[in-house]
Structure 1
Amino acid sequence: MNLLHPSAKVVDAATGEVLTPALIDEAAKALPPESPVFLPMTTTVRSIASYLAALRADRPVLLLDPDLDQTSLRARFATDEVHPDLALLLTTSGSTGDPKLVRLSRSAVLANAEQVAESLGITSDDVAITTLPLFYSYGLSVLHSHLLRGATVVLERTGIMQRDFWAAVNEHGVTSMAFVPSQYEMLRRLRFDPAKYPTLRTLTQAGGRLRAELVTDFAGRMTAVGGRMFVMYGQTEAAPRMACLPPSHLAEKLGSAGRAMPGGAFTIDDGEVVYQGPNVMMGYAETAADLARGDDLRGVLHTGDLGRIDDDGFLFLTGRIKRMGKVFGVRINLDDVERQFPVAAVAGDDRLHVFAEGADADGVRVLRTKIADWLGTHFTGVDVRAIETLPLLPNGKTDYRALEASL
């Protein structure tokens, strides 16, 4: 499989190193013999060269967080037998300990790269910059879709809180940046002004729901300078993006995840969002034997998300099937709580536990009363805790397991 358009370019903002065919050839010779190829995916030219070399050789790749111990995964998934269609293995979002792997075929990876490129109108003139880890499906999707269309990807490792990042945006003429909700919250605090970055044309958002007021806010900032903002929805299991809400519909469909990607379709099955498309995974892998399995899902993904589709075909998400809790026996949707109040919510022991960033003692008491009133329950069923900063996973999502462990 070859994702690399002849005119595509990858450049390291800090070192100036550029991806070349010779580097990919060199990486191909150094690929380890084991299958799959276990690749700690750093944001470097050399890691991308190794990744592309493995894909070109039709060697399935398991992308790893380089900061995590890989011993368990290597022990569980080393094997001599893999399915011939298997291209990519990614850990499921939010997993700790011994995660499941998402099995993606070559056709699914290529299909989603093309779906994203078409939805965003990516051309060879575009320049993206890394804002997320490349072992995370959203960050990897940015790489795939830009390489496929012959665009440029700038590798930057310091992050949006550092001056070096914004210097690189202007130095390399970055046209597109992709962020998750927690990063948009940071950008708001940084008083992000796109006018300071004259080449910037596009913002995209995925990786969870962004508050409607921030969608409106950042869309307005981009419109003011002739730019665009796209809201997107996906899961690692779909390689990873499934829907896109283009700028032309942001105002009238505020809160929507958009329409299905080209070639895809949504239906609702007993409240659950079901996606059908060419980018759906082959299935999960929990043991090495699963890597030899074929396509278990046949292009149909039960997402685990709750939602509805309006008359114009736009998807609106309403929560997660598993994000439910009970307070005094009454079922509550934890996502509804988070949409109503600026908190992170988990459930346990017949109580609702919420974590509020930066709240003082008075704020905790007020919030507890407001949430109890909103739920129509006694305040003893609501536990509000002040927290300096919410724990985040590498993909920028809230680490709910860490919050549950603190109870």
Structure 2
Amino acid sequence: MLKDEILELLKSGRIDYVRVVFVDILGNVRGRSLRRAEFEKVLNERGVEYSESLILLDYRDEPIRSTYADMFAQADLATFSVIPYLERTGRVLSYLTQIDGSPHPLCSRSLLIKGIQKLEEVGLKLQVAFEPTFYLIKFKDSRAVPADEARAFSLEGLMEEQNLLKDLIKNLGSSNIKVQSVNKHYGPGQYEITFSLSDVLEAADSLIFARETIRDTARLYNAYSTFMPKPFRNYPSSSMDIFLKILDKDNNPVGVDANDSKGLGLSKILYNFIAGIIEHLPSIIAIASPTINSYKRFKEVVTPTIMGVGTERHFVLRIPVTYKDYGIIEFRLADPLANPYLLLSSLIFSGIDGIERNLDVEVNQSLGILPTSLREAVKSLDKDTKLKYNLGQEIINTFVELKNKEIEDYEGEITDWEINAYLKSGW
């Protein structure tokens, strides 16, 4: 929305509160709800003031280091929308800025803008579509269980959750989030949403609002949603496929070549882009699969763990048959919990690195070994000086610090499995 349109909406009395939110390094949404008059005041100033410690919170909401600096959340009015399931409430995403008004070095949304500008420098644009899966759960005897028992891709699941899913689709549409389809997925209570291709920043913003909308809509039906990659030991994991389409500055696809000697129908520049991603893939995995739990799903047969590009589903980068003539590639090893701004930035800068260095790639082959744990992935990211430089030393060093704290805490835990396996050893 334009500023004048938003002000008119506020003056009409249809909006009493506006949530001014930002996304932290880990992909969590944080913010404040402002009364109408206070939001109007913020529009004419430099934003909502916050302590910088909020951008340094770990998975337990504890800051990894102390800071007394201030930062500001500056509303991006293009993202303003009315929350359809709340009374007289709107929301808007923000950029984080420093006191002098410059982009905050730990703002992942600003980083994605930098990536978009880098694409423009080489004459390219990027369209993206996310396809996250998630579980609807309920609690039984204080234990999380799937909200329904429906089988994979059955109409039964769509029937059981029809009212929730209908409201979800309506709420997403009312929030200007373009939904292509909603499917019952493999696990009981597991569902998948496919979003339509859109410009890269819009796609990332839509995913942030979609996760919020899915969570809130589930709560209205006395259920919960979880984007945890592997919430149940005996049920399939949740993932998030990402479809990428490269265009020139006039919005013409540049990824297709009918005379491709490698047989995938892709252009040289798209192969360069893919080669760059594959070169940095062990590092990207830390951002794409950013939790301890993420690597529990790597053991599943259906998880794509071949480091390469091909037509089969086991490749991390796949050329779907249905999209072959459109030059669309599919990145298949992301979690629905990933920070979309940081992840897309890592894919963009890696792809551009491949273009600038004229890298090539063999198809339908394994081209290396991927990390099998968060510790291995974070170590790869920390050592990737080129990617770290392109994304920004400060934001990647902070991400690494956050993740190492998470790893250390996990490795210090005494689990039920250990108690059951070892407590009576030697008795």
Higher relative contact order (CA 8 A, sep 6+): 2
TM-score above 0.5: no
Structure number with the higher helix fraction is: 2
- TM-score of the superposed pair, with normalisation by structure 2: 0.29
